[in-house]
Chain A
Amino acid sequence: MIYTLIIHNAPYQSATAGTALRFAKATLAAGHSIHRVFFYRDGVYTANTLTAPPRDEQNIPALWQQLAQEHQLDMVVCIAAAVRRGVLDEHEAKRYEKTAHNLAEGFELSGLGQLVEASIVSDRVVTFGGPQ
């Protein structure tokens, strides 16, 4: 089956980020495919390359990058949610005249259309992170 994952919560405060990561690994291990991982709302913080957890804690953004590289995952970050929260790629940093950009490699800023498109082509769409 084709899956799409939507992640609503930021890493560290919520267990959601870790749960979603393990779900993604289990889905792939079971022979399914993941069409897209879409980061929405506070989930966009997952794509902050400045994340620097203590060395004995899991580095959620790095783990996503690793998984994405191994399985060619399409990781899309909602651009409106991200820019509001200060997660910018080089292009957006220029547009808003900011002196730095911090979108981690392997993630891409794009619109909610990517979420809708993923919903259309996927057999299952699973949201992580309850409404807050």
Chain B
Amino acid sequence: MSQKSLLVICRKPPYGSSAARDALDIALSGAVFDLSVSLLLLDDGILQLLPDQNSGKIGEKNLNAMLGALPLYDIEQIYTSLYSLSLHGLEAERLEPAPTVLSATELQALINRHDVVLTV
């Protein structure tokens, strides 16, 4: 079985719904199957990478720990767009893990070069 590349796209913030966690679960499952997995966080999805989240106060599990585990699963490729960062006034280097920032054209190329693209 030839191994495909998987791109998981998430546009949702960390705790407003289960989207962030559900997207990460797919990414981790893909990695378990030895797929080449990339994660693309767009729009409010970029808020998932904010450091020092304190989700205990709303009774939710902290997403930082789950994101921190991504390199252990060989998911090193996390992407976002220039637009998503400017939307929230964020800088990539202040996020954890720091994402690779893509222009609109590069975004198209990223999606185009993956065999499977799943959006959550």
Interface, chain A (partner B; CB < 8 A): 6, 8, 40-41, 80-81, 111-113, 115-117, 119-121, 125, 127, 130-132
Mostly helix, strand, loop or mixed at chain B's interface?
A: mixed
Known: A80-B25, A113-B29, A120-B3. 14 other contacts (CB 8 A): A41-B18, A41-B22, A81-B22, A112-B29, A115-B29, A116-B29, A116-B35, A119-B4, A119-B118, A125-B116, A127-B119, A131-B12, A131-B120, A132-B19
Residue interface mask B48-60, A partner, CB < 8 A = 1:
0000000000000
Determine the chain B residues whose CB is within 8 A of the CB of A8 once the complex forms: 120
B63 within 8 A of A: no
- CB distance B26 to A112 under 8 Å? yes
Q: How far is the CB of B2 from chain A (nearest CB, A)?
A: 8
B65 within 8 A of A: no
Q: In the bound complex, what is the Cα–Cα distance between A8 and B32 (angstroms)?
A: 22
- CB distance A116 to B30 under 8 Å? yes
Q: How far is the CB of B120 from chain A (nearest CB, A)?
A: 6
Determine the chain B residues whose CB is within 8 A of the CB of A117 once the complex forms: 33
Q: Which residue of A lies closest to B44 (CB)?
A: A131
B1 within 8 A of A: yes
Determine the chain B residues whose CB is within 8 A of the CB of A120 once the complex forms: 1, 3-4, 33, 35, 116
- CB distance A6 to B32 under 8 Å? no
30 A-B contacts, Cβ less than 8 Å apart? A6-B118, A40-B22, A41-B22, A80-B25, A81-B22, A111-B29, A112-B25, A112-B29, A115-B26, A115-B29, A116-B6, A116-B26, A116-B29, A116-B30, A116-B32, A116-B33, A116-B35, A119-B6, A119-B116, A119-B118, A120-B1, A120-B33, A125-B116, A127-B118, A127-B119, A130-B119, A131-B12, A131-B119, A132-B17, A132-B19
Residue interface mask B86-103, A partner, CB < 8 A = 1:
000000000000000000
Q: How far is the CB of A118 from chain B (nearest CB, A)?
A: 10
Determine the chain B residues whose CB is within 8 A of the CB of A40 once the complex forms: 22
Determine the chain B residues whose CB is within 8 A of the CB of A41 once the complex forms: 18, 22, 120
Q: How far is the CB of B84 from chain A (nearest CB, A)?
A: 14
- CB distance B33 to A125 under 8 Å? no
